[in-house]
Structure formats: C-alpha cells, structure tokens
Amino acid sequence: MQTDSSFTFVLFGGTGDLSMRKILPALFEAHRAGGMLADSGKIVAVARHATDRREYIEWVNEHVKPHVSKNGVDETAWASFLERIEFVNIDLGKAEDFVHLRDAIKDLPGIRVFYLATGPSLFVPICHALASVGLNENSRIVLEKPLGYDLKSSNAINDAVGEIFAEEQIYRIDHYLGKEPVQNLLALRFGNALFEPLWRREWVESIQITIAEELGVEARGDFYDNTGALRDMVQNHLLQLLSIVAMEPPHSMDSDSVRDEKLRVLRALKPIDPRDIGKVAVRGQYHSGVIRGTAVPAYATESGVRPDSTTETFVALKVEIENWRWAGVPFFLRTGKRLADRVAEIVVNFRAVPHSALGASALRAGANRLVIRLQPNETIRLYCLAKQPGEGMNLASVHLDLAFDQFFREGQMEAYQRLLLDVINGRLALFVRRDEQEAAWRWVEPILNEWKASNKPPKPYASGTWGPAASSAMLAQHGTCWLEEEN
C-alpha cells in the first residue's frame, strides 16, 4: 500500500493514551516501511500537556517509543519520523485558540486530516472551532468511539458534525475492521469459489463471534461504569464483524458497495421482543477471582466504579438475521472483561453430514468448522474429519492452518496502520457510515431500555472464567457450545 499523497495529519489529544499506544506507533510503522507515507507529509500534535515542540518530542521519546516495533527501533527511521512532527499548544475548549492552529498549518502541504483522539464531549466543539477558522474545507475528520450514548445522542453528534463536514469527509473508525484476518475473511469469501456456496443456512448450523478480554476496566472506571459492555463492544465491534460475516457479495470493493451490503445485514437483524430478552441476552458482572495466578478484584471495587453498580461487564446474545441466506441460523455474540483468556475470533459451525456411512465415530468426531482468529495470534483454521492411523475407521478432527506470520514473509500491517493510511488516501470502505451506525443503535436500544426498566442486577461471574453459566446454557438450548481453545 503505497502513496504519493501529501498530507497534514492533525492529532487532537496528542498526549492521550490512544495517541501513545496506537496512533503514533502506527504512523511510525508506515513511515519506517518506506513509500507508505509521502515524504512531505507532516504530523501536527495538538495538546495542552506540553508547552512547545521540544517538550512534546521529549514526551514522544519517553512514552511512544516503547510501543513501536516489536523487534526493536530503527534509530535512523525513528529520528527521521520525529522530523515529521510539529506541535501546537491550544485549549480545545477555546474556539479562539484555533486561529493558532490555522496559522501553524496554513503553509503545510496536502490533504488535511483531523483525528479526534479525545473524549466524545469534545467532538462537536472541535468541529465548530475548525469551521470558525475555515479548516473544515477540503479536509477529512476521524471520529473515535463511543459516538453517543444511545440513538438520540448519536444522532445529535452526527447532526452537528454533519452540518460542518460532508458525509464523505467523515471517517468513523472501528479498528476491528482493519485487522488482517477481517480483510482475509473478505478474501476467503469473495476471492474463492470454495466457500461462498456453503456460506448460507443450508450448510451453516450456527456462527459465534467472541471478543474476550483478561483485563478489567483498568483506569477507565468512571467511563466504563456509565457505558457497559453492550455500548462499548456490541453496538460497534461485534455488530460490525457480524455484518461482514453475513453480508452479500458486493459488486466491487468501493466504499459504498461494501457499506451498502453491511447496512442490509444490520437492517435485517430480527428485533428482540422485550419479553424475550431474558432468553436471548445474558448480562454479567465480574467478581473477584484469579487470572494467570494473580488475584484480581471485583468490578464493584474498581476505582471510579459505584459500589452498587449494575453496569454489565459481560454480554452474550443470540441474534437472528431475517433474510433468505440466513433465516433460522443463530448468531451467538459474546464479549466480556476479566475472562479466562484474551481472544477475538469468529467460528462458523457447519452442519453435520446427513448420514454417516462411516459409522458412529464420524458422528462423535463432530462437524466441520472454520475458525477465524483475530487476536492474539491471527490465523484461519478449517477443521475437517480424517481417519486416524491404524485399524478400523476411526475419525478425528484435524485442521488446515493459515498462519499469516508463517505463510507471508513480510510483516503484517496493524489495524490502525491500515486505517490511517486509508484516511490519508481517501478510502472509506473500512469506516462506518452514519446509516450503519443508526441501524446498530436502533437494534441495541430495546435491550438497553429493558435492562434499565427491569433494574435486575447482572449475573455474577468469577474473574478468570468464561462468564455466567447462563451464557453456556443459552447455547446448550440450541445443541451447541462455545468454542474455548488454548491459544
């Protein structure tokens, strides 16, 4: 992925955690690779926690450098990367300060990208301030999640931003869409004749999508206690992954063709009757426990969390898609904190053979499945049945393994690196369009409302487990179980 596109990348929240851990390291990797970023491209950090460029560069050396390049830092590349960086100290709450930003970047070349790595409460004020000094013209703006607390607040932000930036200027980022296995899922489905004929209700028994974390809320207790797992993970990451798994083949990979097909999936999600939420939605909250030999506290005792909090840290859902391809196929979504392992994966469980000519051992060995692992190790595995060596026809499950780090010699591109390059180059396909976001909120909101109205506490689960037992029971009712493997 090479570009000659010159750019000025303005990073609001330049000293924040996201900038430190993801954005600046991703830009460095693109710079280090050579040819991915135009030589004339500049990065302009905006923050209040540094007084000038010298102090900011010191901060970058101290805090960002440890997060780049797993195999060590190329000092020559690092030094030339720092030469790209400029710094502007302004108060984001003061619109008059944006004159200083305008003056600082007026002579810098190329397309202007404004990345809002800030809290959502600042999105609208920053956009208004940019417009007040004419910086909204011929530019692109990147919005991080969460974009709103519910459908109403999401629409309010989108309306306000949409008055200043056109939809084709707005890049709503979901970093899971930039992960290599998600890209390979598209290649697997639409670049091969093998899988697409099987990718439908006649051959697929169920699909699971899991995003599990070992970490708790860390230092985000105040934020998380007003958000919860359904808003933080399901409304965006999980529903976006579901839409890519279930979408129809687009006629091309241009931005609106892909996003049109994702939108059709989101609009086809079967609405959940409030009376059935207890049957198809499980919410949990972690209690104290042990993870990798270390005792960890309960959610209610975390810093910033209310002791009587009913915020969910775990969600499991049964989802149905009301269209011709997927009618009757359950999609099981699961996410949670303080679970037994850190893993993100998509599991496609195919139907068993209708008749076993090979005897009972074929039935005991199970059916075929495809496992697309997003993290921590990115792989795609196809599980098939094969005869065990020896006498008799005894079958066992074996797998074909596409391990990207072994098959491809060049290093994989991290999600943020890919997405930032897409912003610079004006590619919108991997970013969330407004109507997609609205459709997701519209489906999620009845669950939020019912949980709030019922005032029932989340089901407890011990840290270091796979969540409440009710999650497994929900799948057992459909004759299946969660896939829980060692990394």
Residues 243 and 241: their CA atoms lie apart, in Å, by: 5
pLDDT in tens, 425-475: 999 999 999 999 999 999 999 999 999 998 889 999 999 999 999 999 999
**42, 81 contact by CB (below 8 A):** no
Helix (H, G, I), strand (E, B) or coil at 344: strand
Average pLDDT, the chain: 91
**Mean pLDDT calculated for residue range 103-117:** 94
**pLDDT for position 116:** 96
**pLDDT for position 388:** 80
Residues 45 and 85: their CA atoms lie apart, in Å, by: 7
CA 317 to chain centre: 18
**Mean pLDDT calculated for residue range 385-402:** 80
Label residue 360 by pLDDT band (50, 70, 90). Answer: low
Question: Is pLDDT above 90 for 93?
Answer: no
Here the tokens at position 354 are 């209708």
β-sheet bridge partners, residue 171: 142
Helix (H, G, I), strand (E, B) or coil at 462: strand
Half-sphere exposure of 29 (CA within 13 A, CB side): 25
**Mean pLDDT calculated for residue range 36-60:** 92
Positive/negative CA dihedral, 124, 126, 127, 128 = positive
Here the tokens at position 421 are 């390059």
Half-sphere exposure of 399 (CA within 13 A, CB side): 13
Question: Is pLDDT above 60 for 6?
Answer: yes
Share of the chain above pLDDT 70, in %: 95
**84, 31 contact by CB (below 8 A):** yes
Q: How many residues make up the chain in this entry? A: 487
Q: Which domains are assigned to the chain?
A: 7-144 (3.40.50.720), 177-413+433-476 (3.30.360.10)
Here the tokens at position 209 are 């999508």
Helix (H, G, I), strand (E, B) or coil at 331: strand
Positive/negative CA dihedral, 42, 47, 52, 54 = negative
Q: 85-89 and 42-47: which strand pairing?
A: parallel
Least confident of 93-102, 130-139, 199-208, 351-360: 351-360
Q: In what order do the strands lie in the sheet with 379-387?
A: 395-403, 379-387, 369-375, 343-350, 204-212, 331-336, 314-319, 281-287, 459-462
Tell me which residue has tokens 């007026």.
106
- List the one residue out of 395, 352, 351, 349 whose CA is nearest residue 372: 349
Going by C-beta distance under 8 Å and a sequence separation of 6 or more, which residues neighbour residue 481? 472, 475
At CA 55, angle to CA 50 and CA 61, rounded to 5? 110
338-351 as b/e: b if 16+ CB within 10 A: bbbbebbbbbbbbe
pLDDT in tens, 286-342: 999 999 999 999 999 999 999 999 999 999 999 999 999 999 999 999 999 999 999
**pLDDT for position 1:** 47
Tell me which residue has tokens 């991080």.
144
First to last CA, the chain: 30
Question: Is pLDDT above 50 for 404?
Answer: yes
Residues 41 and 286: their CA atoms lie apart, in Å, by: 45
> Which position has the higher pLDDT, 265 or 485?
265
Label residue 359 by pLDDT band (50, 70, 90). Answer: low
Tell me which residue has tokens 């180059």.
425
- 237 as an active site residue: the answer is yes
> Which position has the higher pLDDT, 54 or 4?
54
Residues 421 and 426: their CA atoms lie apart, in Å, by: 8
Here the tokens at position 307 are 């002791």
Let me know how many helices (H) and strands (E) the chain has, helices first. Answer: 18, 17
**253, 261 contact by CB (below 8 A):** no
At CA 248, angle to CA 244 and CA 249, rounded to 5? 95
Q: Supply the Cα-derived Rg of the chain in whole angstroms.
A: 24
The residue type of 387 is K
**pLDDT for position 50:** 78
Going by C-beta distance under 8 Å and a sequence separation of 6 or more, which residues neighbour residue 162? 170, 434
Q: 42-47 and 7-12: which strand pairing?
A: parallel
Share of the chain above pLDDT 90, in %: 71
**371, 383 contact by CB (below 8 A):** yes
Q: 7-12 and 111-116: which strand pairing?
A: parallel
Tell me which residue has tokens 């020559």.
76
256-285 as b/e: b if 16+ CB within 10 A: eebbbbbbbbbbbbeebeeeebeebbbbbb
CA 232 to chain centre: 10
- List the one residue out of 110, 117, 130 whose CA is nearest residue 13: 117
Residues 348 and 273: their CA atoms lie apart, in Å, by: 26
pLDDT in tens, 362-380: 556 578 899 999 888 888 8
Residues 303 and 295: their CA atoms lie apart, in Å, by: 16
**Class of residue 137 by CB neighbours under 10 A (exposed 0-12, middle 13-18, buried 19+):** exposed
> Which position has the higher pLDDT, 183 or 106?
106
Which listed residue (237, 251, 287, 399) is catalytic?
237
> Which position has the higher pLDDT, 51 or 173?
173
> Which position has the higher pLDDT, 195 or 473?
473
